[in-house]
Structure 1
Amino acid sequence: MSSLNKMLSLLEFFSIERPVWTSDELLARSGLSRPTGYRYFKELCDSGLLRRAENGYSLGPRIIEMDYYIQQSDRLLMACRPVMSQIAQETTCNVLLATIYGASILAIHQEIGAKSGPLAFGRGRPMPLFRGGGSKVIIASLSLARHRRLYEDHAADIAAAGLGGNFKEFRARMVQIQRDGYVVSVGELDPDAAGAAVPVSSGTLIEPSAMIIVTTRPHFALIDKPLLIERMHNAARQIEIALIQADQPQATGF
């Protein structure tokens, strides 16, 4: 691991459960020497990624600033917002857009439906890799090589999620999800919630995404599932078309 990676890995210790860490706790958890650790703390504070708190360190305001830039300029978010807002209004369900980075899947945008309960895994909270419709759709969209690496690293989790007791079974399940083009999930992430997910092609972006609809189980039971899946696929195509148009050079007017 490079020095930069070691320094940035300190940010991974912060969570809702542990928003503040003392310098001694960070040093003990990371295994860094005191001189190196304090140098990293200073650099992270100077950059705004950490800030000094009364009892130690917490995440810094630069992260909020960077999130603002993403919200205002990310082409995927700009393409999905109007489409997702319309679906949330039409279905009264919560609508999320999730993507993958490394070995984490999380929602990067959400629209709240009028008749849906709170989200257990809303924007910014990492989702389980192999449970829930969104995660399964995204994982299924990955390459054979990445499926193999995931299975090597997470065989027990994959088996526990019912996705296969060996690599052949896991791969077959992923291919089937690709062919189906959707996943319906009931009570996997929240016992009181249910929903569906479809893949979203991110155009020139490398990593796949998924559109997820989530609502209460009683509400979901009343929804026409085939009609909902068709509506979600149409919405995914709208987003994909908007991304393609955003990638095309703009006319100069000369």
Structure 2
Amino acid sequence: MSSFERGLKILAEIATCGDATVDVVATRLGIPQSTTYRYFKTLKEHGFVQEDDGRYRPGRALLEMSGRNHSQSLLADIGTAVLKSIVDEVGETAVMVIRVGTQGMCLRRAEPDKSLKYSFAVNELLPLHAGAGQRILLAWAPADVVRQVLERDLPRFTDNTLTAQQIQASLPQIRSAGRLISRGELDVGSISLAVPVFCRGEIVCSLNIAGPETRCGSKSWINSAFNAMEEAALCLTSSLESATSFQSSREILNEHSYAG
């Protein structure tokens, strides 16, 4: 393998898995660890990967090449308004969650004016194996990401937190249903509903509503909440696809102008 090929394979591995360590990538690609570390160091210096406590994730340069950074910026820009519209309709906390490597992250949130509510802090990292919004993302994650998550020691936050075997069995059902309810997986007494948001066939985030089951456990409330989220998800998909189409068209025009 040439030096260039090694670099490309490492980039492809990070882009696919979203989260990896030097030793795992070295073993998978058959490259010495010391050599792999030097590649990661160079990639980090040029913004292609970012490092967090020994784990490497796609950096800004790699995200921009894949188009994911543009989508996430758009989500952040329009997310709060979308979430507020959900809160106005259902009266509970609404959260937008994205996947960052093998974890979820709260990108945006909107909250009702109520004393008892369940929420995440913006930019808070979340476990992918617990909670409706995170498990929706896990259901559409690459196989390597699913394997990395489920092979770890999964912390149990409550008696309702699922085991790795239960999660693995649930993933096809989640993809088939296109929606998910979790009950008390992260907080006792809570209920959480989530739906995926897609852009050109790729999942970009999940929309998540959470509240106390005493307030949100009725069938009618659950149905109305899912209707509100699914409508918001369709609007987000339409906005993202229109914006990315415009961006692609502009890039093509720029290329032609440079060629001319």
TM-score, with normalisation over the residues of structure 1? Answer: 0.62
Question: How many equivalent pairs are there?
Answer: 187
Describe the SS at the equivalent of 1:175. helix
CA contact (8 A) 2:130 2:185 kept: yes
Is 2:208 the partner of 1:209?
no
Equivalent residue letter for 1:219: R
**Aligned match of 1:125:** 124
The residue number in structure 1 matching 2:93 is: 94
Which residues of structure 2 form unaligned runs of 5+? 1-36, 55-68, 251-260
Note if 1:175 corresponds to 2:162: no
Q: Is the 8 A contact 2:196 2:203 kept in 1?
A: no
Partner of 1:245: 242
Q: Is the CA contact 1:198–1:233 (under 8 Å) kept in the aligned structure 2?
A: yes
Q: For the structure 1 residues 106 and 117, does the alpha-carbon distance in structure 2 shift closer, same or farther, using more than 3 Å as the test?
A: farther
Q: 189-198 or 127-136: which moved more?
A: 189-198
What's the counterpart of residue 63 of structure 2? none
In 2, Cα distance between equivalents of 1:236 and 1:214: 16
Q: Is the 8 A contact 1:106 1:127 kept in 2?
A: yes
In 2, Cα distance between the equivalents of 1:194 and 1:174? Answer: 19
Distance 1:221 1:157 in 2: 27
Query: 2:200, 2:74 → 1: CA distance?
Result: 10
Q: Give matches, 1:1-254, under 5 Å.
A: 1=37, 2-3=40-41, 9=51, 12=52, 74-115=73-114, 117-151=116-150, 153-154=151-152, 156-157=153-154, 161-165=161-165, 170-203=167-200, 208-222=204-218, 224-249=221-246
- What secondary structure does 2:216 align onto? helix
User: Contact between 1:100 and 1:207, CA under 8 Å: does it hold in 2?
Assistant: no
What letter is aligned with 2:217? A
Structure 1 unaligned segments of length 5 or more: list them: 14-29, 31-69
- Deviation, 1:236, is 0.5
Decide which structure has the larger Cα Rg and report it: 1
CA RMSD in angstroms comes to: 3.3
Query: 1:242 and 1:119 mapped to 2: Cα distance?
Result: 28
8 Å contact from structure 1 (residues 97, 108) kept in 2: yes
TM-score, reference length from structure 2 = 0.61
Counterpart secondary structure, 1:142: coil
| Conserved 8 A contact 1:130-1:158 | no
* Distance 1:126-1:245 versus aligned 2 partners, 3 A rule: same
